[in-house]
Structure 1
Amino acid sequence: MHKRWLIAPALLAVGALLAACSGGSPTSTGASDEKVTITYGVWAGTQTPAMKEIAAAFTEENPNITVKVEERPWPEYWSTLQTGAAGGTAPDAFWMLAQNIQPYAAGDQLLDISDAIDSEGVDLAKYPKAVLDLYDQGDGKIYGLPKDVDTNAVWFNKAIFDKAGVAYPSADWTWADFRETAKKLTDPAAGVWGTAAPIDYQGGYYNTIFQAGGQVISDDGKTALIDTPEAQAGITFWTDLQADGSSPTLQQLSDTEAETMFEQGKIGMYMSGAYWALKLYDNKEIQPNVDIAPLPVGEERATVTSGISNVGYAGTKHPDAVKKFLIFASGEQAAEIQAKSGAVLPAYAGTEKTWMAAMPEFTNLQVFIDAKEYSVPLPVQGNAAEWQGEQTKYLTDAWNGTATVEDATKQYADAIDKVLAE
């Protein structure tokens, strides 16, 4: 899900049939006995059934407000987003990513729900502070609340380990252990690689940059630090795996995504997030062989964290109804619904055990929850979607071994600085 968040920000456009439910200047609030319908934009995936259940539960409590869930596939969701925001046809409520929010907040296209949070007595301490901070635009407004939280770990295939006679990862394994394990698991004759090393910021190299003691962007958000020695060490972790032949090449990973190759039993280990759990759990062929280990430790232990936020459209005709729904959709009852589906690790504190119980055969899901203790916020300064979207342009040569990490990151840092200066 989140690994693919590299598309430039946009707002979901709804059809003409739904235009009456959103767009234009705020008029009706939905707070009276008037019956209203609001739309809720999500992208396609394992979460949609739970989102529909949440919408139904909200309407049961608020009979005058009907919520219609509008699902679009990735990347269509994002490709139609900007048109919807500019043209007044965006959904009333929709999912937002931290790396995409800045242009929409700056363009006054998001609904400020601060007053509703105060009046409803929402306890913000129930949400991970790191995720809340990701959406803070420094303007004193709150545009939404997180519905889920991401951390990263290593998914691994026990059958591949067993066939190679390699011990399963330990909780305190190191970068060197990971690299050596990947080499031992790789079997070219069988078409099996020890790991996958795509150019993936959230599930991949951001984690190792922070583990090396580095940063991607300076604390003040004005300067790229991806070309510092520490950050370069974190990226070298991945280019070494490519150089070892322990991973499919970038071309092979372009032809068949790493997730698919893992499910096909062609990859022994894959770093990714908790959001992948249900998809693997529902794959009954691979499920018995799937297990989870913490990320290997570099100079320190770290994982990046983020999460989807439920936000509203500033142009909705029903702002009060939307605010009420946004608070519900990120609240405890909705979190329990999400957790029972197994589709996502909810952001709301106290619902984690329900999520784990939804997939009992995965006995080590606690790894993702424990990782919150050493998580760091996903770097999203400035127009993050734009500069993150340039990663393959500048890092591909380093991954392929045709440029040094030092040269590639210097060029990428210069490009990031230009975006941050805009």
Structure 2
Amino acid sequence: MITSRRGRLTRLLAVTGTALLLAACTGGTGDKGDKSDAAKGYDPAAPVTITWWTGQTSEAEQVAEKLAAEYQTAHPNVTIKTSAGASTTDELLTKLSAGFTGGNYPDISYAYGNWAGDLAASGRTQDLTSYVNDPSFGWTEMPEAARTVATADGKVIGIPALVDNLALIYNKKLFDAKGVAYPTDEWSWEDFREAAKKLTDPATNTYGTAYSVAGSEDTTWHLWPLLWQHGGKILDGTKPAFNSDAGVQALEKLRVMAVDDKSMYLDQTDQKYGPLFNSGHVAMMLSGPWSLLEIKDAKLDYGVAFLPGVNGDHQTVSGPDLWVLFDHEDANRAGAARDFIKWLTSAQTDAKWNLAVGNLPLRSTEKDTPEFAAYVKEYPGGRKFFDNLTNAKQARPTIPGYEVMSRNVGDAIARVLQGAASPKEALDEAARKSAGALED
């Protein structure tokens, strides 16, 4: 897998987004404006060197280096300087911010999708809107939620690097032991709750399900599907809207399991519920395809179903990550970066990248490839996660201030699930705290 979701959801400091915005306004060269013509005058044959911060762990970094070498063999005029960019993926945003101030930032960097708003506000990103809408790019082959996340302030600033979603993963052995029917794609949240109660067994320290109360993005983004299924929205323009009746109803569905039923394991770190599922102490986990690697190692007999729904609505949330392209006022660097990422995210190369390291394919056209067939054979739940991409109909906001809002919402959820506040009280407070951080 490229990066673990645990790493991708590690809580960021509130100052990070602020620092990035300050870097756009002070130091460096400032906001250079519209970068839609960043590659105007690009000479594909000119010698050029570009830098690529992959944001990868050591194993995936080796795959990235091999792909960069393959591209350079086919394009001998291009040199790609490849590195992870930082010790951890989470540190990339801070390093990019510092690079903007000092003029030392890459041509391409891995980025979490929820950084898109802050990166766009830096004024250093290329505007790829016209580029990706050229028919040869195949932009619509990528999931709509991923394309939305790659768009900030109406401009495409990057290309999806990874796509995923949340679904219901369940341990068949625990279901069989309690005589509970397996989840189906038609389950409601009431079905989920009833099963969780039946599967909870204090004598064996087994819980029906689990939830992170670390206050991280892992805490927050698990609420968004329930919010959307109830007809709610995260924002109204740039104003918090998650504290609507829909948001309260969504959080109440989680509260009753955690507080009333005590069928929900509350993970204070967001790093324990996965191993507890793999060891047979959590029967159902709302997680994504990244979990399949460790489940495979645990040799569990498992199944995957769509998220429980509300009135037949089984919307999920996708957490796509991006390859963000930056401008250095050099047409050849801008053009070479575009061409390399187009090649990297093509159906042919993506099979050597995402599928090779255990992630879902980026493009719908990959579903009939031998590589996808091999992936599904190795990770049987992968096909359900691929099919579930059609349920990812909305995306998290790509605006400055999302990180601050996410932390506030995560803290509110944690308080509610631990019985310290009501959903309405906690969400209203989170909305109040977040209002000033969101761009007007």
Structure 2 length-normalised TM: 0.81
- State the AA in 2 paired with 1:291: G
Q: Pick one of 346, 349, 360 that aligns with 2:377.
A: 360
1:175 paired with 2:189, answer yes
Q: Pick one of 423, 432, 438 that aligns with 1:405.
A: 423
- Counterpart of 1:321? 336
Distance in 1 separating the partners of 2:220 and 2:62: 25
Report SS of the residue matched to 2:147. Answer: helix
How far the C-alpha of 1:144 sits from its partner, in A, is 1.8
Distance in 2 separating the partners of 1:90 and 1:369: 34
Distance in 2 separating the partners of 1:403 and 1:245: 16
Identity rate, percent: 22
- Counterpart of 2:432? 414
1:297 paired with 2:315, answer no
1:236 paired with 2:252, answer yes
1:138 paired with 2:138, answer no
Report SS of the residue matched to 1:147. Answer: strand
1:226 paired with 2:239, answer no
Distance in 2 separating the partners of 1:316 and 1:288: 52
Contact 1:345/1:352 (8 A) holds in 2: no
Distance in 1 separating the partners of 2:110 and 2:184: 36
Distance in 2 separating the partners of 1:32 and 1:115: 22
Structure 1 length-normalised TM: 0.84
Q: Pick one of 168, 174, 178 that aligns with 1:164.
A: 178
Contact 1:47/1:343 (8 A) holds in 2: no
Contact 1:38/1:65 (8 A) holds in 2: no
Deviations 1:303-325 (A, max 9, x none): 12241221222237622221211
Deviations 1:219-266 (A, max 9, x none): xx222221111111111122222112212234xx32853223222332
Pair 356,245 (structure 1): closer, same or farther in 2 beyond 3 Å: farther
- Counterpart of 2:212? 198
Distance in 1 separating the partners of 2:58 and 2:425: 38
Give the stretch that moved more between structures: 322-331 or 38-47.
38-47
- Counterpart of 1:57? 70
* Structure 2 runs not aligned, ≥5 long: 21-37
- State the AA in 2 paired with 1:365: G
Contact 1:239/1:399 (8 A) holds in 2: yes
Report SS of the residue matched to 1:351. Answer: helix
Distance in 2 separating the partners of 1:162 and 1:48: 41
- State the AA in 1 paired with 2:44: A
Q: Pick one of 275, 294, 308 that aligns with 1:260.
A: 275
Q: Pick one of 99, 103, 111 that aligns with 2:118.
A: 103
Distance in 1 separating the partners of 2:302 and 2:61: 24
* Structure 1 runs not aligned, ≥5 long: 12-25
Distance in 1 separating the partners of 2:435 and 2:221: 23
How far the C-alpha of 1:30 sits from its partner, in A, is 7.6
Contact 1:382/1:419 (8 A) holds in 2: no
Report SS of the residue matched to 2:54. Answer: strand
Contact 1:342/1:355 (8 A) holds in 2: no
Pair 188,85 (structure 1): closer, same or farther in 2 beyond 3 Å: farther
- State the AA in 2 paired with 1:309: L
How far the C-alpha of 1:100 sits from its partner, in A, is 0.9
- Aligned-pair RMSD on alpha carbons? 2.9
Deviations 1:337-380 (A, max 9, x none): 13431521122221135335324154343322222223222221
Contact 1:41/1:91 (8 A) holds in 2: no
Distance in 1 separating the partners of 2:394 and 2:266: 29
- State the AA in 2 paired with 1:301: H
Pair 35,256 (structure 1): closer, same or farther in 2 beyond 3 Å: closer
Deviations 1:16-44 (A, max 9, x none): xxxxxxxxxx9997833526353333143
1:128 paired with 2:143, answer yes
Number of equivalences: 400
Report SS of the residue matched to 1:398. Answer: helix
